[in-house]
């Protein structure tokens, strides 16, 4: 956690672990931190937007491109008008840049919205 203090997935995992260990109060705190970081990723005026966005983009860039493409297809099937964009999905290991913001948002909503 010290290595990735702005990574919302770290806090989701921590919340899950706390819950499994029987500490619902700590789980709620970690889940809330993940929610705050999710908001920071979405809101470019947030104080921690840059840090949270970069941390989340690094996580996404480690996921195989095929998986990311499937996520985009599912998001497009659910709400095509929202995600119709020419933004390219980046290759594995390639950082997600600001011009791929819609890709990041589709990924976030498809995989992590229910967790937060």
For residues 69 and 92, what is the distance between their CA atoms, to the nearest angstrom? 12
Q: Is 46 helix (H, G, I), strand (E, B) or coil?
A: coil
Structure confidence at residue 56 (pLDDT): 87
Average pLDDT by stretches of 10, the chain with 116 residues: 83 95 96 94 91 88 78 73 50 51 64 46
Helices (DSSP H) in 22-64: which residue ranges? 24-42, 49-61
DSSP type of residue 69? H
Global pTM? 0.62
Structure confidence at residue 103 (pLDDT): 65
DSSP type of residue 100? G
HSE, CB side, 13 Å, CA atoms: give it for residue 58. Answer: 12
Q: Is 113 helix (H, G, I), strand (E, B) or coil?
A: coil
Nearest CA to 85 among 72, 71, 68, 102? 102
CB atoms within 10 A of CB 80: 9
HSE, CB side, 13 Å, CA atoms: give it for residue 46. Answer: 16
């Amino acid at each position: 956690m010290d290595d990735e203090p702005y990574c919302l997935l770290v806090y989701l995992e921590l919340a899950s672990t706390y819950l499994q260990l029987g500490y619902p109060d700590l789980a709620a705190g970690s889940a809330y931190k993940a929610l705050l970081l999710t908001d920071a990723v979405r809101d470019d005026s947030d104080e921690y937007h840059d840090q949270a966005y970069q941390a989340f983009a690094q996580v996404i860039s480690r996921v195989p491109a095929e998986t990311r493409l499937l996520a985009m297809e599912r998001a497009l099937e659910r709400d095509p008008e929202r995600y119709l964009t020419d933004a390219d999905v980046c290759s594995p290991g390639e950082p997600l840049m600001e011009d791929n913001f819609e890709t990041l948002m589709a990924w976030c909503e498809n995989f992590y919205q229910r967790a937060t």
